[in-house]
Amino acid sequence: GALPRPPQVPRPSPPPPPPLTPPALPGCAAVVAAAGGRSGASGTADAVSEDIAEQPQLVGSSGFFEQLTQQLEEKDAELVPTEEQQAQKGWLVSTLKPLLERHTGGVLHTFGSCENGFWMNGSDVDACLVIRRCVSRQSWLTKLRLVQCLVQREHIGTAQVVGAARVPVAKLRDQNGAELCDVSVNNVAALENSRFVRALAQLDPRVPRLGRFIKHWASQRRINNRSEGTLSTYTLILQLFFFLQAREPPVLPRVDQLLAVLPPSLTTTGGVPMGAEIRAVNALVAGPEMDMISGQLRPLPFLADAGVIQQEGRFPDAERNKESLGELLHGFFQLWGREAFRGGDEGSGQTVLVYDGTQERNDLGVLVMRCPLTGKNVNPFMTMVWRAIHTEFERAAALLSRGRPLAELCEPAEESPAGRGPRRA
């Protein structure tokens, strides 16, 4: 018989257009300038930093933080995924998963935001087929074309194979043209990455709420688009994790507190060169994320279960931090709006490691965010683009220092800081 149809997911309505004239902020011309023209020029950024420095911190009052928390909670109610999205994901698992597994010989896993705790209203579903002995790009494309044939044969909808992408995918749409999901093959590093993000996100209920808002703010301000050279969502999440590790007491543990296998002595063989400095999980683990012969994924090299983390006493500070959502959101923008992170041509950038909760100066003039699993720079930036991105953090910090509402932080930016033209409708 025919497969059940996927449930319809109404697309979220577009944000309202920004007001023609931004509301004047008394004595805050620098902030308005930064919000409007983002050339990345040092003059604008300097003006905003001076404005922050001169501000009396209105934010000391508990009433301010209570109001900020209330605004954030109200906004989060709009940002969480809808029941229709949840139903569509359920359909993918109950109907599409067995179909694709039966014909491809693989196992279909969902990953990305729909699994890592930061899923949002309007976000799609990412899925990955894990297939043994499927190692070349050509063999991935063959499997994706099989997915395309199955989707069309079973009258589920249509599928477009995007073979030129860095990670080839089949983009599945239903019969009305609405997005269903993107399917990739053996994208196993992304699977492990999603489980890592979820492991930290589940440790404190404040983490997903803060992450959803920060992702929304960055999208509105046109700085959350890796293809344009701005921030990937993973970078934003790592920025949040680093900030929460740095609170006193910390909200989240360092990644090196969660290792499934504790590091061997550097004087032993153990796969680690003698005297090497361990700055990423994969430096401690032999072998790839997947055994290509068997198709088995390796055991996670970090603890992913909150109960086990608690039982083993890996994070003694768990639940000690009692700050409100408002206090934490304000602190996030104060941290990342600091002049130390501004960078520039003079080569004063910062390298940040969520693995051990440290930061150090670099000579690249940009933020270097290192993946705690691989140690790689997750988001290379051009200097001018990073300066423009940082101006947005300065703008947000300055607006919050003046007690401005979150809606003003999230007014849609007209242009991308990467200079890719106006916002698409």
DSSP assignment of 279-337 equals: -SGGGG--S-SB-TTT-PBPPPSB---HHHHHHTTS-TTTTT----HHHHHHHHHHHHT
- Cα separation of 323 and 374, whole Å? 31
With contact defined as beta carbons under 8 Å apart, do 258 and 354 qualify?
A: no
pLDDT of residue 58: 52
With contact defined as beta carbons under 8 Å apart, do 400 and 333 qualify?
A: yes
Beta strands in 96-168 (DSSP E): 107-111, 125-130, 157-162
With contact defined as beta carbons under 8 Å apart, do 38 and 189 qualify?
A: no
Taking the CA atoms of residue 111, residue 113, residue 116 and residue 117 in that order, the dihedral angle to the nearest 10 degrees is -150
Q: Coil, helix or strand for 162?
A: strand
pTM: 0.83
**Sequence spans of domains, the chain:** 83-190, 204-261+301-410
Residue 16 burial (10 A CB sphere; 0-12, 13-18, 19+): exposed
For residue 269, the tally of other CB atoms under 10 A from its CB is: 9
What is the residue type of 316?
P
DSSP assignment of 223-245 equals: ---GGGTS--HHHHHHHHHHHHH
- Cα separation of 95 and 375, whole Å? 37
Assigned token pair, 365:
């003039």
In CATH terms, 204-261+301-410 corresponds, of 3.30.70.260, 3.20.20.70, 1.10.580.10, 1.10.1410.10, to 1.10.1410.10
- Cα separation of 220 and 35, whole Å? 12
With contact defined as beta carbons under 8 Å apart, do 159 and 171 qualify?
A: yes
In CATH terms, 83-190 corresponds, of 3.30.460.10, 2.60.40.650, 3.40.570.10, 3.30.450.20, to 3.30.460.10
Assigned token pair, 312:
């083993």
> What pLDDT tens digit does each residue of the chain (425 aa) get?
556 667 766 655 555 444 333 333 333 333 333 333 343 333 344 444 444 443 444 555 778 999 999 999 999 999 999 999 999 999 999 999 999 999 999 999 999 999 999 999 999 899 999 999 999 999 999 999 999 999 999 999 999 999 998 899 999 999 999 899 999 999 999 999 999 999 999 999 999 999 999 999 999 999 999 888 899 999 999 999 999 999 999 999 999 999 997 765 443 444 444 444 779 999 888 788 998 888 889 989 999 999 999 999 999 999 999 999 999 999 999 999 999 999 986 668 999 999 999 999 999 999 999 999 999 999 999 999 999 999 999 999 999 999 999 999 999 998 887 765 455 44
pLDDT of residue 1: 58
- Show Cβ contacts of residue 167 under 8 Å, excluding neighbours closer than 6 positions: 184, 187, 190
Alpha-helical runs (H) found in 154-226: 188-201, 206-220
Q: Cα Rg for the chain, rounded, in angstroms?
A: 23
pLDDT of residue 271: 47
Q: Which residue has the tokens 């290379």?
A: 380
CA angle 243, 247, 248 (to 5 degrees): 170
Residue 215 burial (10 A CB sphere; 0-12, 13-18, 19+): buried
pLDDT of residue 404: 94
Interstrand relation of 179-185 and 358-362 (parallel, antiparallel or unpaired): unpaired
pLDDT of residue 134: 94
Q: How far, in Å, are 240, 292, 359 from residue 193 at the CA level? A: 16, 19, 21
Give the neighbor-by-neighbor strand order of the sheet with 157-162.
107-111, 125-130, 179-185, 169-174, 157-162
With contact defined as beta carbons under 8 Å apart, do 344 and 350 qualify?
A: no
φ, ψ for residue 350, nearest 5 deg: -125, 135
pLDDT of residue 56: 40
What is the residue type of 351?
T
- Cα separation of 373 and 255, whole Å? 9
Assigned token pair, 35:
């919000």
Helices 42-54 and 29-36 cross at an angle (nearest 10°) of 140
204-261+301-410: same fold as 83-190? Answer: no
> Which pLDDT tens digit goes with each residue over 167-180?
999 999 999 998 99
pLDDT of residue 418: 73
Interstrand relation of 349-353 and 367-370 (parallel, antiparallel or unpaired): parallel
Task: Identify the DSSP state of 137.
Answer: H
